[in-house]
């Protein structure tokens, strides 16, 4: 098991949240970023939806990003490699914390200039199977004044953690526990997000 995975597991075990070095190396992040840009050029990104939202208007008031889900059966080489590394982390989390995550769903996200995602939980309703949320930033040369921070609300000590969406940084947290929001940025903001999911119980 990798030292970095150990650190992430330790942080999730103690605080429920990890912000730090990414399990995806620099070359991989560049390849994923390239893939997102190709998808965008081919109009492969679609306006994101929100579980609870009932109309298009209520969705766009909540979030302004466009997304593309990774298709498990048609992964580009960089995506296969990323899934391999994410699955290793999932195995480490399962082993240490018994979270029972059986797979990971991932999508690219692009926030145009000025777009945001208001405070939310990554679980919509009690039947949601998401256990761990992941975010990998794909933004080269991001400066603090570009904005676009992720704010993570730590309810246990009422603090707010601010994360710059810089490539090389990743975020992981227990999906049910941390309300979070994305602030508007002065340039397009790119990421790959993932959710580790547990198996549905009988009747769910």
167 belongs to the binding site for ligand OGA (CB under 6 A): no
193 belongs to the binding site for ligand OGA (CB under 6 A): yes
117 belongs to the binding site for ligand OGA (CB under 6 A): yes
H/E element, 153:
strand 150-154
Strand partners, 198: 101
Strands (E), 25-79: 46-47, 66-69
> Count of CB atoms within 10 A of residue 163's CB?
19
Residue 23 binding target from Mn ion, ligand OGA, none, CB below 5 to 8 Å by type? none
Q: Which C-beta is closer to ligand OGA: that of 93 or that of 135?
A: 135
As a whole number of angstroms, the distance between CA 188 and CA 176 comes to 28
Cβ-closest residue to Mn ion? Answer: 122
φ, ψ of residue 16 in degrees (nearest 5): 85, 0
H/E element, 98:
none
92 belongs to the binding site for ligand OGA (CB under 6 A): no
Residue with tokens 């490699």: 81
As a whole number of angstroms, the distance between CA 180 and CA 178 comes to 6
Residue 108 binding target from ligand OGA, Mn ion, none, CB below 5 to 8 Å by type? none
Q: Which C-beta is closer to ligand OGA: that of 117 or that of 142?
A: 117
94-153: contacts with Mn ion (CB under 5 A): 122
79 belongs to the binding site for ligand OGA (CB under 6 A): no
Chain residues binding ligand OGA by CB under 6 A are 109, 117, 122, 135, 150, 165, 180, 182, 191, 193
Chain residues binding Mn ion by CB under 5 A are 122
């Amino acid at each position: 098991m990798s030292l970095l995975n150990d650190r992430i597991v330790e942080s999730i075990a103690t605080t429920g949240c990890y912000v730090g070095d990414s399990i995806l190396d620099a070359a991989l992040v560049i390849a994923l970023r390239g893939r997102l840009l190709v998808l965008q050029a081919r109009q492969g990104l679609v306006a994101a939806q929100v579980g609870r939202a009932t109309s298009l208007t209520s969705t766009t008031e909540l979030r302004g990003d466009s997304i593309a889900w990774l298709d498990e059966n048609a992964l580009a080489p960089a995506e296969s490699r990323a899934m391999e590394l994410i699955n290793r982390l999932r195995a480490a989390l399962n082993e240490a914390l018994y979270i029972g995550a059986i797979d990971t769903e991932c999508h690219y996200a692009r926030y145009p200039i000025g777009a945001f995602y208001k405070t939310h939980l990554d679980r919509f309703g009690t039947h949601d199977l998401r256990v761990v949320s992941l975010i990998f930033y794909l933004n080269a040369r991001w400066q603090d004044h570009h904005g676009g921070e992720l704010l993570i609300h730590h309810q246990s000590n009422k603090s707010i953690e601010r994360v710059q969406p810089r490539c090389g940084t990743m975020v992981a947290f227990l999906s049910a526990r941390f309300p979070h929001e994305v602030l508007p940025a002065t340039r397009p903001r790119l990421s790959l997000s993932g959710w580790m999911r547990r198996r549905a119980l009988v009747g769910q």
